Structure 1
């Protein structure tokens, strides 16, 4: 279920991304205004969620491929799921501070 939810979330992000990027052809000033609204801690939190969704979707997709094409895949799917969760959590912990560093500085008045 999480694989499907992350896939749908990624699809909607890509849809919005294409729309706001296309805005630059219509009005560069409007594009600049839209992009300026994205520079806040709430959107930064959504970006962290997007990275988490893409990362989980990719790792879990590899697990699904292993289940389908490896003879031991169906038997070891539970272990592989936990491996995906552990690797995802470790990578997200590594991404978390660099991705949110600017927001922390804005929130606590350092920049």
Structure 2
């Protein structure tokens, strides 16, 4: 049940991110100066940590979506759904572990 909740939460968070992304990108047409100010606010350590959450949400949502497809459309899917959930968690953690060192060095280290 928690994977169901987390899948919906990550889906909504990704939707909200995409909405904000489209709106802030559209600012370049309205006022390039305002666009530059908004983009400047994104270059903070807090937003860098937010990007970690965004990448984690994308990874979990994508891997869990594949798991849902396998559970729904394969004969043995329901039997192995719990094992597949642990695989999803493992893949998410592994991919995030590959992303974190480089990203955090960019956020907190020298550019």
Match of 2:93 in 1: 89
Q: How far is 1:104 from its partner?
A: 1.9
Match of 1:78 in 2: 82
* Alpha-carbon separation, structure 2, partners of 1:35 and 1:82: 37
Match of 2:8 in 1: 4
Q: Does 2:38 align with 1:57? A: no
* Alpha-carbon separation, structure 2, partners of 1:103 and 1:72: 43
TM-score of the superposition, structure 2-length normalised? 0.93
Aligned residues: 107
Render the CA deviation track for 1:7-37: whole Å, top value 9, x for unaligned: 0000000010011000000001110111011
* Alpha-carbon separation, structure 1, partners of 2:20 and 2:91: 29
Q: How far is 1:97 from its partner?
A: 1.0
Match of 1:32 in 2: 36
* Alpha-carbon separation, structure 2, partners of 1:25 and 1:14: 18
Q: How far is 1:55 from its partner?
A: 0.6
Structure 2 unaligned spans of 5+:
none
> Which segments of structure 1 move beyond 6 Å, counting only runs of 4 or more?
none
- Aligned CA RMSD, in angstroms, stands at 0.9
* Alpha-carbon separation, structure 2, partners of 1:51 and 1:18: 18
Q: Does 2:24 align with 1:20? A: yes
Equivalent of 2:107, from 96, 103, 107? 103
